[in-house]
Amino acid sequence: MIRAFKTNVCRNYEILSNTFWNYIPNEGEHKGKSYQIYVPSCLEKHPDFLNYRGSGTFYKNFYAGGSIRLVFKGVSHTAKVYIDDQFVTFHYNAYTPFEVVIKDLDEGNHILKVEVDNRFNSDSVLHKENDYMTYGGITRGVVIERLQSLYIRNLYFTPVKKGDLWTAKIRVIVENVSDQDILGNIDFMLETILGGFGSESTVFLKNSLTELENEFEFPNVLPWDMESPNLYLLKTWIIVDKEIHDDLIETVGFREITLDGNQILLNGKRIRIKGFNRHEDHPEFGCSLPYASMVHDIEQIKDMGANAIRTSHYPNDELFLDLCDEAGILVWEEAHARGFKEEDMDNPNFMPQSISCINEMVDCHYNHPSIFIWGVLNECISQKEPYASYHKIQLEQLQILDPSRPNTFASNKHYKDICFAYPTVVSNNMYPLWYLPGDVAEVLQKHINYANDTAGKVKPFIVSEIGCGAIYGYRQRSKEKWSEEGQADIIAKQITPMLENAACTGVFIWQYCDCQVSAGWFKERGRLHNNKGIVDEYRRPKLAYDVVKNIFNQYGNYFE
Ligand code: ADA
């Protein structure tokens, strides 16, 4: 399963994942041995590769011919792809999709070979020892598509609210993979099927360009919001000589995110964030969670009364974003970066790798109505130059790629941050009563005041992290540190002031579930886990679960 809905009816495609691939490791005691490894999965969940850090090669046979497009939703973390031993593409970063088009392939059997490397070294800035686990392997789905001479490469849908009327800007990118110039003879047809209540609007466009952009009116649609996440299928076809040549389908929702002073508005109403940070991590599946497990996460998160998820600290599997679209959960999607120090940001690969991640994230996830804000650079060096200017560049890049959504970065530089002028929303990670003492309400107000003074004008303010740890099953009525009672007590004191302060848009609890951390973090983290989950890594609720549920349910999704 690649997406939660069918993306093509006409285009011929085959899902190459959801089955076993041959795998040969290049390192360690099993070097050179041949394995059958399920794709998608994390290598470390196989009994022979528990702590594997190295390279290895995956093989898969396929039958095809003509022009094909290979799409990888996620390979962790560096991939070199070959077809019949011919190099076809390279990609770095586990958490963003990539694709390659191969023309004029002979009709017949072929071998797809993917060299996968999960080692940490100076070439890899984004993946390093960190407070979460970088796994190895082909961790998300793989698809092969057979293309005709023209195909729809992408589709971008931007809803706009004009009073009571919804319009949408629709941009379609078409590529010609043939040698012939056939651009003058194409009819594009955009058909929007307004599923659910039978209304339909069809627009015919003649165009000779490979990129087409237009704004359309949709008079009878229902909006997407947290309470009623109405989704529609946007179907796009290319018609050549009156025949359907290619198609692409996306789910879309009509909703608008705007900013007004310190307020974030969804369809004109001021939202209150009751959110969770979530790592894609599970003791049995690593970062390669099966669909049912993602569904369960969303059910628990909603059960606790939450309405938002921050994809800390990297772009998520699109299946999870599809589920958020369906569940009406607001998503802060974040480019890949956590806690970079000066030496990381000095690495010449830092900006190119970060910008690629931003570009791929926005390009591939643009249409998800659930994504209400883009984020970059969690807890990096934002208190001095030249690192501050890297924040500026990355936030500007988000603004260029998608002016329809706010953007932000999560700062922990507290009263020294010099970057608050750059994002459209200011966000702070803070851990009063855990890492630092202090009255929570006062600490919050001090942060807001500092942001308002330094950003030059008032912007919305989000608490992007707050939380405290507990080891599941460790119970002490004295509320000692690491006990479930202790966590339940502190979390109540932490989140209530965040929800009470009208200058604060809301809070993302750190974190939804306990997650494994990489070996280099052993000294910092008991059990090799970050234990601040409100549920443990198996999703067993700690005592704090009902405390959070009770508090979140006292506050609505919107400010009155
Ligand atoms: C930071 C960081 C998280 C996590 C957290 C913690 O704020 O952004 O990734 O490391 O602290 O548990 O201390």
Instruction: Calculate mean pLDDT across residues 253-278.
Output: 97
CA–centroid distance, residue 429 to ligand 1 (Å) = 8
Cα separation, 59 vs 57, in Å, equals 7
CA–centroid distance, residue 492 to ligand 1 (Å) = 19
Q: What is the DSSP letter of 382?
A: -
The whole-number pLDDT of residue 181 equals 64
Tell which residue, 131, 136, 143, 52, has the closest CA to residue 97: 143
Give the residue, 149 or 24, on which the prediction is more confident.
24
Residue 145: pLDDT above 70? Answer: yes
Please measure the distance between the N-terminal and C-terminal CA atoms of the chain and give it in whole angstroms.
Answer: 41
* pLDDT class of 196 with cuts at 50, 70, 90: very low
CA diameter of the chain:
77
CA–centroid distance, residue 95 to ligand 1 (Å) = 19
Q: Report, in angstroms and rounded to the nearest whole number, the Rg of the chain calculated over CA atoms.
A: 24
CA–centroid distance, residue 431 to ligand 1 (Å) = 9
Tell me the per-residue pLDDT of 482-538, one tens digit each, with 9 for 90 and over: 999 999 999 999 999 999 999 999 999 999 999 999 988 877 898 999 999 999 999
Residue 59: pLDDT above 90? Answer: yes
179 is written with which tokens?
Answer: 């040698």
Which of 130, 276, 379 for mutating ligand 1's site (highest number of atoms within 8 Å of CB)? Answer: 379
SS3 185: helix
Residues 6+ apart with CB under 8 A from 538: 283
11 is written with which tokens?
Answer: 């285009």
Task: Identify the residue whose C-alpha is closest to ligand 1 atom 3.
Answer: 131
The whole-number pLDDT of residue 193 equals 46
Mean pLDDT of the chain: 93
Q: Is the CB of 153 under 6 A from ligand 1?
A: no
Query: How many beta carbons lie within 10 A of that of residue 389, not counting itself?
Result: 11
Rounded (5°) CA angle 358-362-364? 115
* pLDDT class of 366 with cuts at 50, 70, 90: very high
Tell me the per-residue pLDDT of 413-472, one tens digit each, with 9 for 90 and over: 999 999 999 999 999 999 999 999 989 999 999 999 999 999 978 999 999 999 999 999
* pLDDT class of 252 with cuts at 50, 70, 90: very high
The residue whose two tokens read 């630092």 is 436
Tell which residue, 223, 205, 222, has the closest CA to residue 214: 205
Helix (H) or strand (E) holding 301: helix 291-303
Q: Is the CB of 73 under 6 A from ligand 1?
A: no
Are 150 and 186 in contact by the 8 Å Cβ rule? The answer is: yes
216 is written with which tokens?
Answer: 């359309």
Residue 242: pLDDT above 80? Answer: no
Q: Is the CB of 402 under 6 A from ligand 1?
A: no
Instruction: Calculate mean pLDDT across residues 169-173.
Output: 87
Which of 377, 429, 531 for mutating ligand 1's site (highest number of atoms within 8 Å of CB)? Answer: 429
Task: Identify the residue whose C-alpha is closest to ligand 1 atom 4.
Answer: 131
Instruction: Calculate mean pLDDT across residues 83-100.
Output: 98
Tell which residue, 430, 420, 352, has the closest CA to residue 391: 420
Residue 204: pLDDT above 50? Answer: no
465 CA closest ligand 1 atom index: 7
CA of residue 147 relative to chain centroid, distance: 28
313 CA closest ligand 1 atom index: 9
The whole-number pLDDT of residue 270 equals 98
Instruction: Calculate mean pLDDT across residues 111-137.
Output: 97
For 549, phi then psi, to 5°, come to -60, -45
Task: Identify the residue whose C-alpha is closest to ligand 1 atom 9.
Answer: 131
Residue 182: pLDDT above 70? Answer: no
Residue 205: pLDDT above 70? Answer: no
* pLDDT class of 383 with cuts at 50, 70, 90: very high
Cα separation, 314 vs 332, in Å, equals 10
For 355, phi then psi, to 5°, come to -65, -40
Instruction: Calculate mean pLDDT across residues 183-211.
Output: 45
CA–centroid distance, residue 520 to ligand 1 (Å) = 15
Buried b or exposed e, range 82-93, using 16+ CB within 10 angstroms:
bbeeeeebebbb
Tell me the per-residue pLDDT of 32-43, one tens digit each, with 9 for 90 and over: 999 999 999 999
Q: Is the CB of 378 under 6 A from ligand 1?
A: yes
- List residues bridging with 63 in a β-sheet: 109
CA–centroid distance, residue 369 to ligand 1 (Å) = 27
CA–centroid distance, residue 271 to ligand 1 (Å) = 25
Q: Is the CB of 429 under 6 A from ligand 1?
A: yes
Task: Identify the residue whose C-alpha is closest to ligand 1 atom 5.
Answer: 510
Tell which residue, 170, 169, 146, has the closest CA to residue 245: 146
Cα separation, 150 vs 209, in Å, equals 12
Domains in the chain and their CATH numbers? Answer: 12-147 (2.60.120.260), 150-252 (2.60.40.10), 257-490 (3.20.20.80)
**Phi-psi group of 133: left, alpha or beta (phi > 0 → left; psi -120 to 50 → alpha; rest → beta):** beta
Residue 222: pLDDT above 70? Answer: yes
The whole-number pLDDT of residue 191 equals 52
Among 104-118, 127-141, 396-410, 518-532, which stretch is predicted with the lowest mean pLDDT? Answer: 518-532
Task: Identify the residue whose C-alpha is closest to ligand 1 atom 7.
Answer: 429
CA of residue 524 relative to chain centroid, distance: 26
* pLDDT class of 194 with cuts at 50, 70, 90: very low
Residue 14: pLDDT above 70? Answer: yes
CA–centroid distance, residue 299 to ligand 1 (Å) = 24
Cα separation, 514 vs 540, in Å, equals 10
The whole-number pLDDT of residue 240 equals 76
The full DSSP string for 43-103 is GGGSGGGTT--SEEEEEEEEEEEEEEEEEES-EESEEEEEETTEEEEEEE-TTS-EEEEEE
Q: What percent of the chain has pLDDT over 70?
A: 95
Q: Is the CB of 512 under 6 A from ligand 1?
A: no
Instruction: Calculate mean pLDDT across residues 333-356.
Output: 98
The whole-number pLDDT of residue 141 equals 98
Residue 401: pLDDT above 50? Answer: yes
CA–centroid distance, residue 498 to ligand 1 (Å) = 18
CA–centroid distance, residue 361 to ligand 1 (Å) = 22
The whole-number pLDDT of residue 481 equals 95
